[in-house]
Amino acid sequence: MFDYKTLIYNSAKDVLEGLEISDVAASDEFCDYCIPCFKFAKILRKAPAMIAADAVSRIKIDGIKAEALNGYLNFTIERNAFVRRAFESGGEYKPLAGKTVCLDYSSVNIAKPFHIGHLMTTVIGGSLCKIFRELGARVVGINHLGDWGTQFGGLISAYRRWGDEGRLNARGLDELLELYVRYHSESEKDEAVAAEAREWSKKIESGDPYAVGLFERFKAITLEQAKKVYARLNIEFDSYLGESFYVDKVPAVEKKLEQKGLLKMSDGAEIVELTGDMPPALIRRSDGASLYIARDLAAAYYRHENYNFDKCLYVVASHQALHFKQLFKVLELLGEPWASDMIHVSFGMVSVEGMALSTRRGNVLYLSDVLDSAVEKAAAIIAERNPDLQDKTRVAESVGVGAVVFGALYDGRQKDKNFSLESALNFDGETGPYVQYTHARCRSVLAKANYGCSQNVDCNLLTDDEAYEVVKLLADFDENILAAAVKYEPSVVSRRLVKICQAFNRFYNADRIMCGGETEKARLELTLRVADALKRGLSLVLLDAPEKM
């Protein structure tokens, strides 16, 4: 782990009388790192410029020059020392070793297609799994299947009324979707259809062999399609336990609520009254059916008992914020000390050219179709740029799928996304293909030079502006990955990858790499480190790193 920032942090904290320093920020214009002093003004009753000036007079760090400028503490590191220390640092960086993180994400609904609306939860959660594992944590990736509710009785009813065995075998999930949409349309017009659906739901709940058999078949068809998409996205799960698994565990939760005096009756329904402006949490309806929050409570207890997590993250869209506030509040009222370790990792909505998606209306854009279209476009671009490239099909798959994923993970997760394939596949923009192409460029240079193993080099030869900028971005990449974990924000990594690429390409254009002698060796070593960092970072945001493009 590269430790200049830690060294600066500790030195400045001592001088600033133990005040909490939120960050030692990297800076390109005036220095290598800086600390803004504005937030200390009220505490110390001094102007920021005076605080910075006083601190500079007392900070002494070998190899680092401290200056005060406009209320900032600026630190400039002697370049030779910086590069040498950056190249000497290494080894495993596992600050989260011994920690366990449960990640609930993707959570597909049975008998519904994997559409573009599932993209964000799936890739954010999948990337966070890889980031936490990279930092040494034990990660449990959970696909909390939506496999409970009256809609499944409706699907059975629809299948018996309008379905066909041959069409189901031939069309799979497409057939289930049509039946699902038709059921909702017909049930709104005909109460008999809705009533029949409720009867089949009761049969599923009571374990009727025929009803359960059909439901399990629908589940298998759904998961078969979903797992194909997950494989393309480089995602695997450790658990597929869905809502149905927790139904028989809800009574234990109700007992805990009763013992704490939290369970109340309201018009025949079980509720937990919550403080503040939150509405009551509805645990069980007056007809005896448990609600979603009851099953989530049961799932939380199950995960804590079986995994003893340090954090349990729910990667779910922001419009579910109230549900998670209620869930966490109920656990807090139950006196569970781990309630504060439950985190809602929210994100914005996704649309395609401004069109919001709704399965119920049948207005569906399958994610697999989006990926196929991206791969097709990537193949055309690659064929034009490099017609002699071997294994073009595999590379096009990596680039096309990667473009979609990187586009989803590049901006902060809270932002709404309006997806555009053209923008995502721009090889010269802030995109996945740009990062992949830069990685391939590095590998090509290394292959031509037959340089594939890290060597000791003269660090004094990497202190010009372009090379030094690259070194700085590589130096705290570990810390960058940790910041992504702390903020639950994969875009921290994806944006750093683009910065590394931009800096490397400036270096590539300014400094001739194949120049002979020790300078060539040093520049090849830097190129190797960039390639390795890009490959590592691409993996963390679910992308492949093709050697050639």
Q: Collapsing DSSP states into helix, strand and coil, what is residue 141?
A: strand
Q: How far is 508 from 504, CA to CA, in rounded Å? A: 6
Q: How far is 438 from 401, CA to CA, in rounded Å? A: 17
Which residues are within 8 A (CB) of 63 and not within 5 positions of it... i.e. 6 or more apart?
77, 78, 81, 82
Which residues are within 8 A (CB) of 232 and not within 5 positions of it... i.e. 6 or more apart?
368, 371, 397, 401
Q: In whole angstroms, what separates CA 396 from the centre of its chain? A: 23
Checking DSSP bridges between strand 350-352 and strand 263-266, what pairing results, if any? Answer: unpaired
DSSP codes, 194-231: HHHHHHHHHHHHHT-HHHHHHHHHHHHHHHHHHHHHHH
Catalytic residues: 112, 115, 118
Q: How far is 330 from 253, CA to CA, in rounded Å? A: 11
Residue 13 corresponds to which tokens in the numbers above? 């904290």
- The H or E element that residue 151 is part of is helix 150-162
For helices 477-487 and 491-510, angle between their N-to-C axes, nearest 10 degrees: 160
Query: Across the beta sheet with 100-104, what order do the strands follow?
Result: 138-142, 100-104, 311-315, 342-345
Please give the backbone phi and psi of residue 47, each rounded to the nearest 5 degrees, phi first: -70, 145
**Cα dist. 196→247, 289, 308, 309 in Å?**
22, 17, 42, 42
Q: How far is 370 from 474, CA to CA, in rounded Å? A: 34
Strands (E), 400-532: 417-419
Q: How far is 203 from 462, CA to CA, in rounded Å? A: 72
60 burial type by CB count under 10 A (0-12 exposed, 13-18 middle, 19+ buried): exposed
> For the chain, how big is the Rg over CA atoms in Å?
28
Q: Collapsing DSSP states into helix, strand and coil, what is residue 270?
A: strand
